[in-house]
Structure 1
Amino acid sequence: MSVQTLHDNTPVRASFEVPHSDLPKSARVVIVGGGIAGTAAAYHFARARWTDVHLLEQSKLASGTTWHSAGQVGQLRASSAQTKVNKASAELFARLKEETGHDPGWLQCGGLQLASCEERLLQLQRNAAMAEVFGVEARVISAEECRSFYPMLHTEDLTGGVYLPGDGRVLPGECTLALATGAMQGGVKIHEGVRITGLIHSTDRRGIKRISGVTTDQGEIAAEWVVLAGNMWMRQIGLAAGIDIPVYPCEHHYVVTRPIEGVTRNSPCTRDPNAGLYFRALDDGGMKLGAFKKRSKPWQIGDAVPHPFAFDLLEPDWEDFEEPLAAHFHRLRGITREDIVKFVNGPEAFTPDNNFIMGQPHATEGLFVLGGWNSAGIACSGGAAKYAVEWIENGGMTLDLASVDIRRFLPFQNGRKYLQERVSEVLGLHYQMAWPNRQMETARGIRASGLYDKHVAANALFGETAGWERPLAYAPAGVRPEMGYSFLRQNWQPWAAEEVTACRTGVALLDQSTFAKFELAGPGALRLLQYVCGGNVDVPIGKTVYTGLFNAKGTFESDLTVIRTGDESFYIVTATAQQSRDADWLLRHFPEDGSVVLRDITEERNVVSVMGPKAFEVLGMLTDVSFADEDFPFGTSRVIELKGIPLRAVRISYVGEPGLELHVAKPFAGVLWERLMEAGEPHGIRPAGTQAINTMRIEKAFRAYGHELSPAETPLEAGLAFAIDWSKDFLGKEVLLKQKAEGVRQRLVCLVLEEAEPNLWGGEPIFWDGEPAGYTTSAAWSPTIGRSIALGYVKRPDKRVLSPAAIKEGAFEIGLFDKRHAARVVTRAV
Structure 2
Amino acid sequence: METRYDNTPVRASFHASDFPFPKSARIVIVGGGIAGAGMAYHFAKAGWKDVHLLEQSKLASGTTWHSAGQVGQLRSSSAQTKVNKASTELFASLLADTGHDPGWLQCGGLQLASCTERLLQLQRNAAMAEVFGVEARLITPEQCREYYPMMHIADVIGGVHLPGDGRVLPGECTIALAKGAMQRGVAIHEGVRVTGLLHHKDSRGIKRITGVSTTQGEITAEWVVLAGNMWMRQLGLAAGIDIPVYPCEHHYVVTRPIDGVTRNSPCSRDPDAGLYFRALDDGGMKLGAFKKRSKPWQIGDAVPQDFSFGLLEPDWPDFAEPFAAHCHRLRGITRDDVVKFVNGPEAFTPDNNFLMGQPHATEGLFVLGGWNSAGIACSGGASKYAVEWIENGGMSLDLGSVDIRRFLPFQNGRAYLQERVSEVLGLHYQMAWPNRQMETSRGIRASGLYDRHRALNAVFVETAGWERPLAYAPVGIEPGIGYTFLRQNWQPWAEEESLACRGGVALLDQSTFAKFEASGPGALRLLQYLCGGNIDVPVGKTVYTGLFNAKGTFESDLTVIRTASEAFYLVTGTAQQSRDADWLLKHLPNDGSVSVRDVTEAINVVSVMGPQAFEVLAPLFDVTDFPFGTSREAIVADIPLRAVHISYVGEPGLELHVAKDRAGELWDHLMVAGGPHGIRPIGTHAINTLRIEKAFRAYGHELSAAETPLEAGLGFAVDWSKDFLGKEVLVAQKTEGVRKRLICLVLDEPEPLLWGGEPILWDGEPAGYTTSAAWSPTLGRSVALGYVKRSDRSILSAASVKQGSFAIHLFGRHHSAKPVTRAV
Question: What corresponds to 1:660 in structure 2?
Answer: 654
The equivalent position to 2:623 in structure 1, one of 621, 626, 635, is 626
Question: What corresponds to 1:741 in structure 2?
Answer: 735
Q: What percentage of aligned pairs have identical amino acids?
A: 81
Question: What corresponds to 1:677 in structure 2?
Answer: 671
Question: What corresponds to 1:90 in structure 2?
Answer: 88
**In 1, are the aligned partners of 2:545 and 2:558 still within 8 Å (CA)?**
yes
In 2, distance between residues paired with 1:192 and 1:306?
A: 17
Matching of residues 675-824 of structure 1 within 5 Å = 675-824=669-818
Task: Give, as a single letter, the amino acid of the residue that structure 2 aligns with 1:657.
Answer: E
**Residue 403 of structure 1 aligns to a residue in which SS?**
coil
**Residue 401 of structure 2 aligns to a residue in which SS?**
helix
Structure 1 residue ranges without an equivalent (≥5): none
**Residue 212 of structure 1 aligns to a residue in which SS?**
strand
Question: What corresponds to 1:547 in structure 2?
Answer: 545
Matching of residues 129-208 of structure 1 within 5 Å = 129-208=127-206
Matching of residues 396-407 of structure 1 within 5 Å = 396-407=394-405
**Residue 221 of structure 2 corresponds to residue 223 of structure 1:** yes
In 1, distance between residues paired with 2:518 and 2:507?
A: 28
Matching of residues 127-526 of structure 1 within 5 Å = 127-526=125-524
Instruction: String of CA shifts for 1:692-748, please: whole Å, max 9, x gaps.
Output: 000000000000000000000000000000000001000000000000000000000
In 1, distance between residues paired with 2:584 and 2:655?
A: 24
Instruction: String of CA shifts for 1:755-802, please: whole Å, max 9, x gaps.
Output: 000000000000000000000000000001100000000000000000
In 1, distance between residues paired with 2:90 and 2:230?
A: 24
**Residue 563 of structure 2 aligns to a residue in which SS?**
strand
In 2, distance between residues paired with 1:489 and 1:60?
A: 52
In 2, distance between residues paired with 1:383 and 1:594?
A: 40
Name the TM-score, length of structure 2 as normaliser.
1.00
**Residue 760 of structure 1 aligns to a residue in which SS?**
coil
Task: Give, as a single letter, the amino acid of the residue that structure 2 aligns with 1:804.
Answer: A
In 2, distance between residues paired with 1:721 and 1:805?
A: 17
Task: Give, as a single letter, the amino acid of the residue that structure 1 aligns with 2:208.
Answer: R
**Residue 214 of structure 1 aligns to a residue in which SS?**
strand
In 2, distance between residues paired with 1:428 and 1:523?
A: 51
Task: Give, as a single letter, the amino acid of the residue that structure 2 aligns with 1:80.
Answer: S
Task: Give, as a single letter, the amino acid of the residue that structure 1 aligns with 2:769.
Answer: Y
In 1, distance between residues paired with 2:627 and 2:157?
A: 58
Instruction: String of CA shifts for 1:446-488, please: whole Å, max 9, x gaps.
Output: 0000000000000000000000000000000001001011101
Name the count of aligned residue pairs. Answer: 824
CA apart distance, 1:443: 0.1
In 2, distance between residues paired with 1:621 and 1:591?
A: 45
Question: What corresponds to 2:6 in structure 1?
Answer: 8
CA apart distance, 1:17: 1.6
Task: Give, as a single letter, the amino acid of the residue that structure 2 aligns with 1:785.
Answer: L
In 1, distance between residues paired with 2:15 and 2:389?
A: 31
CA apart distance, 1:253: 0.2
CA apart distance, 1:626: 2.8
Question: What corresponds to 1:108 in structure 2?
Answer: 106
In 2, distance between residues paired with 1:675 and 1:523?
A: 39
CA apart distance, 1:22: 1.3
In 2, distance between residues paired with 1:796 and 1:400?
A: 20
In 1, distance between residues paired with 2:293 and 2:421?
A: 9
Question: What corresponds to 1:593 in structure 2?
Answer: 591
CA apart distance, 1:307: 2.5
In 1, distance between residues paired with 2:499 and 2:82?
A: 41
Instruction: String of CA shifts for 1:318-351, please: whole Å, max 9, x gaps.
Output: 0000110000000000000000000000000000
Task: Give, as a single letter, the amino acid of the residue that structure 2 aligns with 1:369.
Answer: V
CA apart distance, 1:210: 0.1
**In 1, are the aligned partners of 2:102 and 2:168 still within 8 Å (CA)?**
yes
In 2, distance between residues paired with 1:23 and 1:307?
A: 21
CA apart distance, 1:643: 1.5
**In 1, are the aligned partners of 2:242 and 2:409 still within 8 Å (CA)?**
yes
Task: Give, as a single letter, the amino acid of the residue that structure 2 aligns with 1:749.
Answer: I
In 1, distance between residues paired with 2:183 and 2:565?
A: 58
**Residue 316 of structure 2 aligns to a residue in which SS?**
coil
**Residue 626 of structure 2 corresponds to residue 613 of structure 1:** no
Task: Give, as a single letter, the amino acid of the residue that structure 1 aligns with 2:195.
Answer: T
**Residue 631 of structure 2 corresponds to residue 637 of structure 1:** yes
Instruction: String of CA shifts for 1:802-827, please: whole Å, max 9, x gaps.
Output: 00000011000000011110000001
**Residue 34 of structure 2 corresponds to residue 40 of structure 1:** no
In 1, distance between residues paired with 2:537 and 2:205?
A: 29
Instruction: String of CA shifts for 1:377-436, please: whole Å, max 9, x gaps.
Output: 000000000000000000000010000000000000000000000000000000000001
CA apart distance, 1:121: 0.2
Instruction: String of CA shifts for 1:89-109, please: whole Å, max 9, x gaps.
Output: 000000100010000000000
Name the TM-score, length of structure 1 as normaliser.
0.99
**In 1, are the aligned partners of 2:614 and 2:623 still within 8 Å (CA)?**
no
In 1, distance between residues paired with 2:284 and 2:619?
A: 76
CA apart distance, 1:595: 1.0
In 1, distance between residues paired with 2:623 and 2:815?
A: 48
Task: Give, as a single letter, the amino acid of the residue that structure 2 aligns with 1:546.
Answer: Y
Task: Give, as a single letter, the amino acid of the residue that structure 1 aligns with 2:338.
Answer: I
**In 1, are the aligned partners of 2:754 and 2:775 still within 8 Å (CA)?**
yes
In 2, distance between residues paired with 1:402 and 1:63?
A: 30
RMSD of the TM alignment (CA)? 0.4
**Residue 320 of structure 1 aligns to a residue in which SS?**
helix
Matching of residues 13-92 of structure 1 within 5 Å = 13-92=11-90
CA apart distance, 1:26: 0.1
Structure 2 residue ranges without an equivalent (≥5): none
CA apart distance, 1:594: 1.1
In 1, distance between residues paired with 2:296 and 2:521?
A: 49
**In 1, are the aligned partners of 2:617 and 2:623 still within 8 Å (CA)?**
no
**Residue 404 of structure 1 aligns to a residue in which SS?**
coil
In 1, distance between residues paired with 2:811 and 2:547?
A: 36
**Residue 372 of structure 2 aligns to a residue in which SS?**
coil
In 2, distance between residues paired with 1:803 and 1:14?
A: 55
**Residue 331 of structure 2 aligns to a residue in which SS?**
coil
In 1, distance between residues paired with 2:673 and 2:562?
A: 30
In 2, distance between residues paired with 1:372 and 1:726?
A: 42
In 2, distance between residues paired with 1:12 and 1:79?
A: 32
CA apart distance, 1:644: 1.3
